[in-house]
Copies of this chain bind each other. A is one copy, B any other.
Amino acid sequence: MTAAVQNSMAADRLDPVQVKRDFPLLRDAPLARGLHYLDNAATTHKPQAVIDAISDCYAQAYGPIHRGLYPLAEAATARYEQSRQTLAEFIGAESPDRLVFTRSATEAINMVAGGWALPRLQPGDRIWVSRMEHHANYLPWQRICQQRGAELGIIELDEDGRLDIAGTPELFGSRTRLIAVCHVSNVLGMENPIQPLCAEARANAIPVLVDAAQSVAHLTLDVAALGCDFLTFSAHKMYGPTGIGLLYAREQYLAEMQPLLLGGGMVDEVGEGNAPSRWSDGPARFEAGSPNLPGAAGFAAAVGYLDGLDRERVHRHVEALTRVAAMSLGALPGLRLLSPPESSAILSFTMEGVHPHDLAQIAGERGVAIRAGHHCAQPLLRHLGIVATARASFGVYNDQDDVNALVAALDAAGRVFPLEPS
């Protein structure tokens, strides 16, 4: 490799020190002094640009959406719809009309389960999820299957921890009504083969919902390229505000979907007493209640922030850091890495003789924020035969220093709980 190529690659790298400066909490907060934040899969911190977008919205352009006839309300509406447009471009949607602002990924999945799948589900039908789903992409499907006498099928994992699609011949069978899988596992960090899965599903007229909660922050999402029918994520895991998320649905499915929440803004005509009411079209039908303008503005600002960093660079940065961390962790005595080698952004592990809670607590005492527990993925942990893992997850502001601190903390834990009790 020539020096010039090396240089151009360096210029093409994210500088986490500079990135960190964008995040007031990591830069300045007393509570974050000496903090190595490696819990990004739970929630990410927010760049100044996102915090400002929210504050500015309240301080400069706040007003009710969709129903006001004065300039402030018109401006608020325009800004809200502009945010929808920004998100549509972010995921390559064919039109902003396919995007519903939700409370969260959790709400979005519940909306599809109750509003689209439930009314179509017959006894004996199947909904498929994978072994590695987050409870948010498991329980809503389980509930509707129970309600309808349908079956919740589980795509199991093969020996390498990957979705065993070949070993699930009924997946694309005639009784399958929907397949719901995560793009990236929140425990193991590996990316699932969404594209071929969607292609085969579509060939069999089976809709696929993709839970992109863990991919949105570091992979480029393109609903057309993925070929999915529903896609969802939360803003708070991609450096955006809490309290807002997104549901994308293809036109046909959105048109067929019943609303989860009823209320203002989603109804054209209210029936008297028990007479039927007539819902509005388009995304409005699924956004009952006063829309969350500052949430949407902050969401769009997060998109702007990620685009500014360049999503390709973000991906490479997070991936490289994960590789380095995996290597260092693998060298620690007693440490067992559960994530497969190609995992990105997320590493789950256990340490012999140390309960994951103790591992996370000792790390926490040393300023290293990792998570311990079942990560809302009990079905996966049952399969792994363990009750908890420790998990480190990486974001744009993490660097080698954070990895070093993690390694040192785990090393310390190993000394507090030596394998040979003294």
Contacts and interface: CB of A to CB of B under 8 A. Distances in A.
A264 B59 contact: no
A46 B25 contact: no
Interface string A351-379: 00000010011011001111111001011
Contacts of A103: 103, 107, 243, 289
A169 interface: no
Interface stretch (A86-94, A139-147, A334-342): A139-147
A236 B290 contact: yes
A375 B20 CA distance: 46
A71 B36 CA distance: 12
A71 B31 contact: yes
Interface stretch (A60-68, A170-178, A215-223): A60-68
Contacts of A28: 59
Contacts of A29: 59-61
A348 interface: no
A213 B293 CA distance: 18
Q: Which of A37, A67, A263 neighbours the largest number of chain B CB atoms within 10 Å of its CB?
A: A263
Contact of A263 (B58, B60, B376): B376
A136 B60 contact: no
Contact of A371 (B68, B267, B290, B372): B68
A134 B267 CA distance: 12
A197 interface: no
A136 B263 contact: yes
A322 to B, nearest CB: 20
Contacts of A61: 25, 29, 31
A306 B72 CA distance: 24
B72 A270 contact: no
A276 interface: yes
Nearest to A264: B376
A235 B242 CA distance: 15
A309 interface: no
A282 interface: no
A288 interface: yes
Given A62-B46, A361-B69, A263 B139 contact: yes
A169 B323 CA distance: 72
A110 interface: yes
A329 interface: no
Nearest to A42: B64
Contacts of A70: 39, 360-361, 363-364, 367-370
B260 A378 contact: no
Given A67-B371, A379-B272, A267 B135 contact: yes
Q: Which 9 A-B pairs rank lowest in CB-CB distance, beginning with the nearest?
A: A70-B364, A106-B289, A136-B263, A139-B262, A264-B376, A243-B243, A106-B263, A24-B59, A42-B64
Interface of A: 24-25, 28-32, 35, 37, 39, 42-43, 45-46, 50-51, 54-55, 58-64, 67-73, 75, 103-107, 109-110, 134-136, 138-140, 142-143, 145-146, 151-152, 154, 234, 236-237, 241-244, 260-265, 267, 269-274, 276-277, 288-295, 357, 360-361, 363-364, 367-373, 376, 378-379, 382
10 contacts: A29-B61, A54-B58, A106-B263, A106-B264, A135-B263, A140-B261, A142-B273, A154-B273, A242-B291, A272-B382
